[in-house]
Structure 1
Amino acid sequence: MNDKKSRIDVKDVTPKPRSHRPADDGHIYVRAQTGKWQRLRKQMGWLLMLVFLAGPWIQWNGNQAILLDVEQQRFHVFGTTLWPQDLTLLALLFMVAAFGLFFLTTFLGRVWCGYLCPQTVWTFIFIWFEEKFEGSANKRRQLDKAPWSLNKIWRKAAKHTGWLAVSLLTGFTFIAYFIPAQELAWGLLTFSASFWAGFWVLFFAFCTYGNAGFMRTIMCTHMCPYARFQSAMFDKDTYIVSYDAERGETRGPRPRKKDPKELGLGDCIDCDMCVQVCPAGIDIRDGLQYECINCGACIDACDQTMERMGYEPGLISYTTEHKLVHKETHVARPKLIGYGFVMVIMLAAFAFMATRIMPMGIEVIRDRNQLYRETAEGLVENTYTLKLLNKTLAPATYQLSVEGMEEVEWIGPAEVSIDGGEVLSLPVSLSVDPYLLGSPVQDIAFVMTRKDADADDAKSSVRTESKFFSALR
């Protein structure tokens, strides 16, 4: 056992302290970076912000196009009102989104996190305020270490003012999807909004301020479940941000005009720019890590360094593990095809159900006190309560009728007008001569038809089944 050959060499792999690594409090000073991937990330981020901010203000037929009215239990989406019975569509939409995310992750890794995740978009917006008021990464680090002074106070105050402004705008916009935007804005400006409206605006503003201003990568690495299960969807054909160790090692500084091969070095000059620009503070050269959000900042930084050195770009790139070891990358593989197939099926089911949403609805509730009664004229009478829904945002007039019985007398209004998005409870009775009934329990159907609709329109009427009871003869 004392033989030297039986011993295992132990290497010290403790990372060397570097000024750009996370500080003791976990704060990461992200260095600003430009390049094609960062331009793409910013463009997609601004597009997401534009859609989010404009959403509550888009009008459709004089009403807010997207309004998720939780209090009234109805969602208005571009002229269509979805009621609780239509929420199967929401479940299908979530399934489409889930399998879409699985498909995208299997194909391109964690690009959702790097380019479109709201946590990333808002974090980079907050970092932009840091850069504008406190300077570059090194200046921000020095400012934090410096004692409090007038210069430090005004810079910190300006940064946090910008953060608070963005947070309040975010909180207001989010709640405006649930409370009409104009009503909410006027209520907040005049202090006439309800307590809960103001509370939820401030609550989500506080969440934005904390998440994007302070927690940042803590949200991505410790609280977001996606970071934990994403590796289950990765394989050796997944495109991820990777470092070509075969080409880059052995790393080290060198004169720009010196051939690295003569010095026994690889293409990596160990400038650590890839670490300094990483919002997660990781070193991509250590291999794939779950903190990596595939934002491509290290790719842009490394490509610019390679260009200055006169080397070929792509030392860090979007690539696959198979490609790194000079094997063929298989894009069309069973797992990716499976995710795509299920996503298409769910999308088709969603589209099919969306096209079958009726602009009106009818629900029948029988009188629970008695199944039937006999009138003085010897007729059998059943009483019902009709719940009539106008799912559109405009008022409409409907004709009511019953099918399944002959010479039936309709007792109650047969024509009603209902305001947009409203529900009307209408008590009606049906009476019929018992000798015209074929059995003590007769199948019938109540029909609700829109008067001004085209008769050939499949959505001009809706029907629901019910029963008519009578005495056994």
Structure 2
Amino acid sequence: MRDASPKPAAGRDAAAEQEEVLYAPRRKLYVRAVTGIFAKWRWALVWLTQLVFYGLPWLTWNDRQAVLFHLTERKFYIFGWVFWPQDVFFLAILLIISAYALFFFTAVAGRLWCGYACPQTVYTEIFMWIEQKIEGDHNKRQKLEQAPMSGRKLALRSAKYGAWALLSLWTGFTFVAYFSPLKELLHSVTNFGFGPWELFWILFYGSFTYLFAGVMREQVCKYMCPYARFQSVMFDADTLVITYDEERGEPRGTRKKGLDPRSVGKGDCIDCGICVQVCPTGIDIRKGLQYECIGCAACIDACDEVMDKMNYPRGLIRYSTENALRQHWGTKDIVAHVLRPRTLLYGAVLALVCIGFVWGLATRETLRVDVIRDRASLAREVEDGMIENVYRLQVMNMTETARAFSLAVSGLEGAKIDGESEVKVGPAATEAVTLRVLVPYDSGKPGANEIAFDVKAGDDPSLTVHEKTTFLFPR
């Protein structure tokens, strides 16, 4: 009898197979600790970046916080510099520098940023170090994960999660201290008087630090970071990347220590798998360059240790280029091809933009004046046949010294300021002053005439601004 039960469509089977390929279940990683030259470099960058991040808000400069992006006052304080909203040009230059630095360093040596200085990498290293100190090495952590719940497991997990939470909250607090004065935040801690936005950002930034570095880890680098996806267009065959020397390492397999692998028909790789165990993203570098590789070089340190124990030469896994592996280049040839026209062009543009940025900071004006005409009364005739125009001057003292500025007007014969001709401006402050300018009727032509306001610091004659505007005569 014919089976009348419905059968799945061929297209549905294909879709199910495709879904299995696209959505692989996560395999929890128990990353093995590693020592070596590149591990030392990573930890040096961890210390450097975190000393800067956690330490800068505590530094003082001119009786204020040395680095403060004060959103309420709309001023950015960076040591001796005070930046205003009008200085957004410098932010644009910084973004250009960051973009070209990304192009340059990626073209030269791949994901150096990801492997050594990216906050995700840095905080993952710190969180894994805490985990290792509390729960033990990778084998002990794996056994603890598989063990049933007990008092010891609960205590270890509580200590680990508690340490992660404290570090995350402190990280969120430090982040907010860059935008809200640290002294105010510390006072808020004592009486728990945080403003709603301060509390929100402390918890928000702290929570995501905990989530990304403690829970998601490699998932952020593999699936969320856009750099992992577009890095391939910035690589070429002469980019320094972490490579496995397949010609030297294959065929891989176990053997006795010190045995010449060629005598048993094998390569130098003993297939120990330690390079996979130390990888924070869990990839096998022996399968070739993969977008999940963050360039941390942990596998190089691990493989070099194994090679030392086997009395084999180091460098089975190393920094090299695809062309260097194929053509067996030496160090000089690799350097010559790394410094190719593409990288030299990126480097030259980056250097020029950096020079322009430094020059702009060095020659940056410390006094600015904005002149706004009073549009309610463009021009009118007053006593003695004088013509009056009213202006509003916005004087911006961009230094951290209180100053008195003298005001004068020029450009038309007999022009004068009616009233106070001096304005006092506090340190890193703005002062608005309304001025009545009088000009004899016969000193100009009907319509617009060019005049200028001269603003000069009393204690520093070199600090002067000559701001042009127009004076209107009635027709």
> Quick one: which amino acid aligns to residue 465 of structure 2?
V
User: Contact conserved, 1:80 with 1:359, CA < 8 A, in 2?
Assistant: no
Q: How many residues align?
A: 446
Q: Specify the SS of the correspondent of 1:467.
A: strand
- 1:173-252 alignment, distance < 5 Å: 173-252=174-253
Which amino acid in 2 is paired with 1:156? R
State the distance in 2 between where 1:298 and 1:48 align: 23
Aligned to 2:92: 91
Matched, 1:408 2:408: no
1:144-192 Cα distance to aligned partner (Å, 9 max, x none)? 1111110001100111111111111111111111011121111122212
Unaligned 5+ runs, structure 2:
1-23
1:264 aligns with 2:265: yes
Structure 1 stretches of 4+ with a deviation exceeding 6 A read none
AA aligned opposite 1:45: V
Instruction: Quote the sequence identity (%).
Output: 44
Bigger fraction of residues in helix: 2
Identify the residue that residue 7 of structure 2 maps to in structure 1: none
CA distance in 2, matches of 1:240, 1:393: 48
1:27 Cα offset (Å): 2.3
CA-to-partner distance for each residue in 1:89-127, whole Å, 9 max, x for gaps?
Answer: 011011111101211111111111111111100000000
Match of 1:427 in 2: 434
Amino acid at match of 2:404: T
Q: Which residue of 1 aligns with 2:474?
A: 471
In structure 1, stretches of 5+ residues that fail to align are 1-22
Q: CA deviation at 1:76?
A: 1.3
1:381-429 deviation per Cα after TM superposition (whole angstroms, max 9, x unaligned): 0001111112223322211122212221202321121122222121111
Which residue pairs with 1:122 in the alignment?
123
Aligned equivalents of 2:199, 2:154: Cα separation in 1: 30
Deviation at 1:239, TM superposition (A): 0.8
SS, match of residue 68 in structure 2: strand
Q: Distance in 2 between matches of 1:197 and 1:360?
A: 33
Task: Specify which of 388, 399, 403 is matched with residue 392 of structure 1.
Answer: 399
3-state SS of paired residue (1:33): coil
Indicate the RMSD between aligned Cα atoms, in angstroms: 1.4
Task: Indicate conservation of the 8 Å contact 2:406/2:455, yes or no.
Answer: yes
* Alpha-carbon separation, structure 1, partners of 2:419 and 2:287: 78
Is the counterpart of residue 364 in structure 1 residue 367 in structure 2?
Answer: no
- Tell me what 2:356 maps to: 349
Deviations 1:423-450 (CA, angstroms, capped at 9, x unpaired): 2121111011011224531112222211
* Counterpart in the other structure of 1:317: 318
Distance in structure 1 (CA, Å) of the matches to 2:403 and 2:188: 31
AA aligned to 2:177 is A
For residue 447 of structure 1, give the secondary structure of its aligned residue in structure 2: strand
Aligned residue for 2:323, secondary structure, equals helix
Query: Within 2, Cα distance between the matches of 1:222 and 1:25?
Result: 12
TM-score by structure 2 length?
A: 0.91
Structure 1 contact 358–462 (Cα < 8 Å) conserved: no
Deviations 1:39-75 (A, max 9, x none): 1110111101001111111111111111111222221
Q: 1:24: Cα distance to partner?
A: 5.2
Distance 2:423 2:147 in 1: 74
* Map of 1:19 onto structure 2: none
Preserved contact between residue 68 and residue 181 of structure 2 (Cα < 8 Å): yes
What amino acid does structure 2 have at the position aligned with 1:364? V
Distance 1:394 1:53 in 2: 29
Q: What letter corresponds to residue 244 of structure 1 in structure 2?
A: D
User: How many Å separate the matches in 1 of 2:347 and 2:155?
Assistant: 52
Alignment check: 8 A CA contact 1:412 1:427 kept: no
Q: Return the alpha-carbon distance in structure 1 between the equivalents of residues 289 and 77 of structure 2.
A: 44
Structure 1 counterpart of 2:349, which letter? Answer: V
Q: How far off is 1:193 after superposition?
A: 2.5
With normalisation by structure 1, the TM-score equals: 0.92
- Is the 2:115–2:296 Cα contact (8 Å) retained in structure 1? yes
Give 1:380 shift. Answer: 0.4
In structure 2, C-alpha distance between the alignment counterparts of 1:430 and 1:239, rounded to whole Å: 67
Aligned counterpart, 2:465: 462
The farther-off stretch of 103-112 and 68-77 is: 68-77
Q: Which residue of 1 aligns with 2:15?
A: none
Higher relative contact order (CA 8 A, sep 6+): 1
